[in-house]
Amino acid sequence: SPRQNRMSTDNALTVVVLLPSAEWPGLEAKPPLPAGQMHFGTSVEDFDPTILKQAGGVLWVPPASEETLKTLHAALPCCRWVHSFSAGLDSIAGFVRSLSENTHVSNGRGAFSSSLAEFAMTAMLHFNKQIPRCQQNRKTRTWDKFVMNTVRGKTLGLLGYGSIGKATAALGAAFGMNIIVLRRNPGKVEERGSPQPQKTYGFADAEAFYKAADFVVCSLPATAETKHFVSKAAFDAMGPQTVFISLGRGAVVDEKALHAALRSNAISGAALDVFEKEPLPHDSPLWDDEKLLLTAHNADLTEDYFKLGWDTFVRNAESIRASGQPATEVDKMAGY
């Protein structure tokens, strides 16, 4: 039987939550849903038919499968809202595109941006301050009084300028970096309060963007348009001083081209938190790249990860009840 968290009012919002497993650790952090109720399960069979008939929304928790989500959604005649606990929708992109015009989709956008921006800054300083050299000097007891670099005055290139890009821009600006952006819609005006880049490039001007950047932080979502967007041509355009950092989705980066760029010293270094195949295969040549800082898609897996995700879900639920529109709405065709 589904786990339940009931909090009912006259205008209650009923949400069915599709879990990847009954032991999903985020359940421990689940909040009450203000003026609503949540019902939890891992398949359509877990939910009472009465609940399925009245549910106005569904919360998808990855990695629950797209097929299971489709089956569940087909059993929800009143569902007008789908929320993704994560920001990335690439694994359910077909389902999202198939939804009717009057069904809203939202995601966890913004919930995890602060920790990802911190990781990006850490990676920049790791290479800029030559931390591997410092560690090697300690191991070999070498008193190596080298000239220390600074990030102040360097150019931070943000590939994608959503919530992760903006959070990274704020940290970069605090360090005195110049901020440039490459995005699909270069003419888009930023909201007041958002960091304003010194220059914004469109995808057609990608080469000039890469040439101008000392650090490239990629937070693009995985879509048909962005598959291997960071290609051999991109790494060729970067300079030997450039550090490449990938935080969005692994499919955006051509890993063979990255490996070649690191081996040929075409770029200075790279930091990857996401990969084309996860877990990264044991025989991947990336494990052997000494100029690569590698993490296991856990740059945003902080102690408050689940709380942050739930907070964003509740904010969207309250927005749906108040106005019929979610707070972090997704363009269903674009996929983000």
Which residues are catalytically annotated? Answer: 249, 278, 297
- At 245 the three-state DSSP class reads strand
Q: Output b/e per residue, 143-153; b: 16+ Cβ within 10 A.
A: eeeeeeeebee
- At 144 the three-state DSSP class reads coil
Backbone φ and ψ for 261, nearest 5 degrees, come out as: -65, -40
Handedness of CA 64, 70, 72, 77 (dihedral sign): positive
Please state, in angstroms and rounded to a whole number, the distance separating the CA atoms of residues 127 and 140: 20
DSSP string, 273-327: S--SSSSPPTT-GGGG-TTEEE--S-TT--TTHHHHHHHHHHHHHHHHHHHSS-T
Task: Assess contact for 281 and 255: CB atoms under 8 A.
Answer: no
Starting at the edge strand found earlier in the chain, the sheet holding 155-159 runs 199-201, 178-182, 155-159, 215-218, 243-246, 269-272, 292-294
